[in-house]
Amino acid sequence: MHPSNGRAAADAFLTVRGLRKTFGDEPVLRGVDLRLPAHRTMSVLGRSGSGKTTLLRLIAGLERADAGTVVLGGRSLDGVPARERGAVYLYQESLLFPHLSVRENIAFGLTLGAHRGRDLDGEVEAMIDVLGLTAHADKRPHQLSGGQQQRVAFGRAVILRPKLLLLDEPFANLDAAIRTQMQDLFQRLAAAYQITALFVTHNLKEALLMGDRLAHLRDGILKTYDSRQAFVDDPVVGVRDEMAFWTALREETS
Amino acid sequence: MHAPSASISRAQAIVAALLAAVCLVPFAYLAALSVADPWTFPALAPEGWSLARWGRMLTGAGALGPSLSLSLSLSLTVAIASTAAGYVTGKFIAYHPWRRRLLVLAYVPFVMAPVILGVCLMYLFLRMRLAGSVAGVMLAQTMFAYGFSIIFFNAFWSARLKAMEDLVATLGGTTAEAYWRVLLPVSVGMLLICFFQTFLISWFQYGLTLLVGAGKVQTLPLKVYDFVSEANMYYAALASCLLVLPPVALLWVNKRFVFRQGLGTT
């Protein structure tokens, strides 16, 4: 074993070993291994259909794996239902509850059995403030823009201080400017709330921006990288091709 | 420049008034006939007006009161049972790998007319001693309305709602909390519409009720037909008014509480 891998295994907060999933006759994940230390974000880059969403759903407990184990914070999640895992899933769509206001959406998780008894009002108001949504707190989701809706979805997840945040291309439906704002917001929240997260995306730039750990998922096989340099140097990832394209464009236009 | 648009709106108003008249005149005529005292051909108007028939109906004469209560309780039970069962079954089928095959089964009651369905069920109902009973009519109507309800809700349960349910689970909620706090509030408009539709299916049911009820279960549509065949036009009009009132009330409720509050919440 590589020395750095051994250290990573010892420090790992999330450990996934040999995760396999087949739908019908089609294998989607073929033995995925990954280790992620606490308070770090791993970007998982992959094309559509590469198994990214399945990987997150298995870790969240929304699908049952054919084989493999998931250990989170030293606890095996085998047979643990989704509601007891402490892993919150964030979707491409904000999925705000349409009958609730912004404030009620953000407070939603705190009012469920698992979190009752916490200082609801204080935490919710603080989160609304952090998200910059004070003026919109009493609005319904349909009165918000796409970016604001996704901010509320982040707040609703982060306020629970989950052990793990699973982000399934949460910015894919946003335009470029809002996407940049949201990436910045996520990085601020991740630092402030010491979030451990798996961030899947098909966007190369976003993967590099969001993750301090990097991985590439292709045909159900996950490859993790020890450094950004190793990620950039791997021809399968496509960073070199991207850089060559922009360099050629700069030379052509200068 | 404003004149043409004003004339267009006047024309629109006239057409709208004509359409409203076409829709409302038959009901107004029925209401007038139910209080006419008497109204014989070739008189253009009744000789007088009287609420005596409505009073007799309220005091039990003509058995309209019991028919009204029977129809109301029958239709409310059928609507509640088929809406609740269709909500749950529609979800089960919508997320089932054999969705299409299972959905075909729900269409079976619609492939045949209600009367044909009644004929098919008759032997079974006779063996179960349900023929000629309120319970038998209720069961037969529910089978028909249940199929409608499944098809109605099958289209409602989407990947988005499934994702919402999953999201509640990852936020720490139980299945009961997902239903009570999210799915039911989001579904309330669709539940009301389905309740309304299944109520109407049962309320206006004639052939199936006559066949399975063997003429012993005297719902309002059967009463109307009886009065018409007896050439008792005043009581037929009164029974028809009673037949129309609950759907009108439900339509008002739907308009007031469903469409105004927005189906768009889903």
Q: Is residue B240 part of a domain?
A: yes
Q: Where do we find the tokens 């399934």?
A: A168
User: Would you call B172 and A114 a contact, using CB atoms and an 8 Å cutoff?
Assistant: yes
Give the residue from chain B lying closest to A104, CA to CA: B181
Residues B141 and B250 in one domain: yes
Residues B24 and B95 in one domain: no
Closest alpha carbon to A55 in A163, A201, A154, A238: A201
To test the contact with chain A by mutation, choose from B158, B160, B167 the residue with the greatest count of A C-beta atoms within 10 A, namely: B167
B160 touches chain A (CB under 8 A): yes
Residues B200 and B235 in one domain: yes
pLDDT of residue A8: 46
pLDDT of residue A246: 87
Q: Is residue B241 part of a domain?
A: yes
Give the residue from chain B lying closest to A153, CA to CA: B167
Residues B82 and B103 in one domain: yes
A61 touches chain B (CB under 8 A): yes
Q: Is residue B56 part of a domain?
A: no
pLDDT of residue B76: 95
DSSP codes joined into one string, A52-89 = HHHHHHHHHTSS--SEEEEEETTEE-TT--GGGS-EEE
For residue B171, give the nearest of A62, A160, A166 by CB distance. A160
pLDDT of residue A1: 36
- Sheet with A12-23: strands ordered across: A26-37, A12-23, A67-72, A75-76
| ipTM reported for the complex, 2 dp | 0.88
Closest alpha carbon to B153 in B126, B183, B176, B133: B183
Residues of A in contact with B97 (CB under 8 A): none
B186 touches chain A (CB under 8 A): yes
B177 touches chain A (CB under 8 A): yes
User: Would you call B170 and A62 a contact, using CB atoms and an 8 Å cutoff?
Assistant: yes
Rounded to a whole number of angstroms, the distance from the CA of A95 to the nearest CA of chain B is 6
Residues B88 and B40 in one domain: no
Distance CA B39, CA B29 (A): 12
Domain count, chain B: 2
Give the residue from chain A lying closest to B183, CA to CA: A97
Residues B134 and B231 in one domain: yes
pLDDT of residue B39: 80
Distance CA A31, CA B81 (A): 47
Q: Is residue B55 part of a domain?
A: no
User: Would you call A97 and B186 a contact, using CB atoms and an 8 Å cutoff?
Assistant: yes
pLDDT of residue A48: 86
Residue environment code for A170-195, b if the CB has 16+ CB neighbours within 10 A, otherwise e = bbebbeeebbeebbebbeebbeebeb
A109 touches chain B (CB under 8 A): yes
Residues of A in contact with B266 (CB under 8 A): 98
- Residue B170 burial (CB count, 10 A): 26
Residues B167 and B38 in one domain: no
CA separation, residue A45 to residues A9, A48, A206 (Å): 21, 10, 9
Distance CA A95, CA A153 (A): 7
For residue B177, give the nearest of A93, A113, A142 by CB distance. A113
Give the residue from chain B lying closest to A97, CA to CA: B182
Rounded to a whole number of angstroms, the distance from the CA of A250 to the nearest CA of chain B is 43
Sequence-distant (6+) residues with CB within 8 A of A220 are A27, A28, A29, A30, A32, A50, A51
Query: Residue A244 — φ and ψ, nearest 5°?
Result: -65, -40
> Are the C-beta atoms of A35 and A80 separated by less than 8 Å?
no
Find the helix or strand (DSSP H, E) in which B93 lies.
helix B64-94
Please report the residues numbered 145 through 204 in chain A whose beta carbons come closer than 8 angstroms to any beta carbon of chain B.
156-157, 160, 166
Residues B46 and B70 in one domain: no
CA separation, residue B263 to residues A140, A197, B258 (Å): 14, 36, 7
- Sheet with A164-168: strands ordered across: A87-90, A164-168, A197-201, A41-45, A213-218, A221-225
Residue environment code for A210-235, b if the CB has 16+ CB neighbours within 10 A, otherwise e = bbebbbbbeebebbbbeeeeebeeee
Residues B93 and B172 in one domain: yes
Q: Is residue B122 part of a domain?
A: yes
User: Would you call A157 and B172 a contact, using CB atoms and an 8 Å cutoff?
Assistant: no
B158 touches chain A (CB under 8 A): no
Q: Is residue B235 part of a domain?
A: yes
Q: What is the CATH classification number for the domain harbouring B187?
A: 1.10.3720.10
User: Would you call A89 and B265 a contact, using CB atoms and an 8 Å cutoff?
Assistant: no
Low-confidence ranges of chain A (pLDDT < 70): 1-10, 114-119
Residues B70 and B195 in one domain: yes
B258 touches chain A (CB under 8 A): no
Distance CA A180, CA A174 (A): 9
Q: Is residue B57 part of a domain?
A: no
Encoded amino acid at A101, one letter: S
User: Would you call B166 and A142 a contact, using CB atoms and an 8 Å cutoff?
Assistant: no
Tokens encoding B213: 């009820």
> Are the C-beta atoms of A73 and A46 separated by less than 8 Å?
no
Q: In 3-state terms, what secondary structure has residue B173?
A: coil
HSE-CB at B224 with a 13 A cutoff on CA atoms is 19
Low-confidence ranges of chain B (pLDDT < 70): 1-7, 60-62, 258-266
Sequence-distant (6+) residues with CB within 8 A of A99 are A140, B185, B186, B265
For residue B167, give the nearest of A89, A99, A115 by CB distance. A89
Residues of B in contact with A83 (CB under 8 A): 169-174
Alpha-helical (H) ranges within chain A are 3-11, 52-60, 102-107, 120-131, 146-158, 176-192, 204-210, 228-233, 239-253
Query: Residue B216 — φ and ψ, nearest 5°?
Result: -90, -20
**Domain residue limits at B78:** 62-265
A85 touches chain B (CB under 8 A): yes
Residues B44 and B71 in one domain: no
For chain A, domains (ranges, CATH) are 3-91+162-253 (3.40.50.300)
pLDDT of residue B200: 92
Residues B46 and B67 in one domain: no
